[in-house]
Amino acid sequence: MHYFVFNLILERYFILTLLQTKTPVIAPIARHGRAQRRSDPAQLTARLAVDRKTQQDCYKLRYLSYFAEGHIEFRRSGTFSDEYDDQPTVQTVVIYKGNRAVASTRICMLTREPDGSDSGSIPAQHVFPEETEALLRRDVASPVERVVEINRLVRHPDFADDKSLVFLLFRLAGYFILKNDAGAVVSCVRRNHIPFYTRLRFSEVAGPRVYHGVKFSTHLLSCLRPQYDTVRRMVPLLDVAGTARAQYDRLCEGETVAVMP
C-alpha cells in the first residue's frame, strides 16, 4: 500500500476509532521545535533483541527517548537498560527504518504455576505488588494464570509524534500476548496516556506511583483477555493472524521481518 494512503488510514484509526478527537491528519511539529519525520510502514522491519547489536540499539534508543523528555539523567554510556532485560521470560522488539532503530517495546511475562510459585517477573509486580497479586489470586472465580506487561514503549525523538509507530508497536506486542496466551495485559501508564488505553478497553486499577528506573509516575491499567480480544476485533490493524502471525513467528527464530507483511 502506498505510504501516504497507509498513514492516512492508520491515523484515522488512531484518531477516530480510539482517541475520538478532531485532530487533523497532518504532519505535527515536534515538541523540540523540529518538523517530525514520518515512518513509511512499507520500509519498516522488526527484530527481536536477542543479539548484542539489537540489544544495544534498543538501549541507546530508550536513552535518547527518555533523556529527550527529561525522564532520566545524563548517562555517559548513552544507554538505558535494567535487570528485566536479562530475564528469559522477557521479549524486546525493535523497529528499524533501514539500519536506524526508530521504536521499541518490551513484553514481560509473569506466570502463576499450579503449585503457587511464580515464573518470571514484571516491573508492575514491584511498583503495584498488591494490585498485581490480586490478578493472580486462586480464590476468585476466574483466576488469571499469566500476566503480560507492555513496557518501555519508546520512539526515537525524531519520530516522537509519529502515531503509526504507536500502532505498530501495539501490533507487535499483540503477537506476543497471543503467543504466550496471556490471561491479562497490564501497563503502567502516565496520566496523559490513560484516555488512549481506556479506549483500548484497559481499566485503571491504581496509582500514581513512580515507575521503575525513571522519574515519572504511572497508573496501573489492566485489560483481561476477553476485553483484549474485543479490541482486536474492533481494530483489525492490531490483530495478528494468519500470514502475519506466521511472519512474526520468524522473529523468535532471530530473523528480521517486515512489520507489515
Contact of 120 with 146, CB cutoff 8 Å: no
What's the confidence (pLDDT) of residue 42? 65
Name, in order, each residue with C-beta under 8 angstroms of 39's C-beta and a sequence gap of 6 or more: 95, 97, 102, 103, 159, 162, 164, 165
CA distance 66 to 82: 14
C-alpha cell at 194: 490513560
C-alpha cell at 156: 526515537
pLDDT, tens only, 149-198:
999 999 999 999 898 899 899 999 999 999 999 999 999 999 999 999 99
pLDDT, tens only, 202-245:
999 998 999 999 999 999 999 999 999 999 888 888 888 777 88
Q: How confident is the model at residue 16 (pLDDT cuts 50, 70, 90)?
A: very low
Q: What is the mean pLDDT of residues 37-66?
A: 89
The residue behind cell 523540529 is 34
Contact of 170 with 197, CB cutoff 8 Å: no
Contact of 158 with 25, CB cutoff 8 Å: no
CA distance 154 to 105: 6
| Burial (CB count within 10 angstroms: exposed 0-12, middle 13-18, buried 19+), residue 198 | middle
The residue extents of the domains of the chain are: 3-258
% of the chain with per-residue pLDDT over 90: 67
pLDDT, tens only, 47-59:
999 999 999 999 9
What's the confidence (pLDDT) of residue 87? 95
Name, in order, each residue with C-beta under 8 angstroms of 115's C-beta and a sequence gap of 6 or more: none
Class of domain 3-258: alpha beta
pLDDT, tens only, 119-155:
999 999 999 999 999 888 755 666 788 999 999 999 9
Q: How far, rounded to the nearest angstrom, does the alpha carbon of residue 24 sit from its chain's CA centroid?
A: 25
